[in-house]
Amino acid sequence: MSKLPLEKPVFFKVLAVVVVLLVVGLGLEKWYYGELPVRDIVGATISSVIFAYLVHLWMIPGGQVPDDSDEHP
């Protein structure tokens, strides 16, 4: 079974940028519409973590995918 890759320093840097963009976006929504529904806050928060992980995967250096099979030559 393969593990999902996670480079913690890269992920947390990307997450910090995404959270800043999230706060700015929610602030603009509050300013423009005058209200901020809870569904928008929850949805944006969940989506921001998933988006940060996907951007993190895009940014980490590539390479050979490890072979996690149990077969030995």
Domain ranges for the chain: 8-59
pLDDT band, very low/low/confident/very high, at 3 (cuts 50, 70, 90) = confident
Token look-up 């490890």 returns: 66
Q: And the tokens for 46?
A: 């969940």
Lowest mean pLDDT among 12-16, 34-38, 60-64: 60-64
Q: Which of 62, 53, 61 is nearest to 4 (CA)?
A: 53
pTM for the full predicted model: 0.73
The continuous run of DSSP H or E covering 58 comes out as helix 38-59
Q: Is the pLDDT of residue 28 over 60?
A: yes
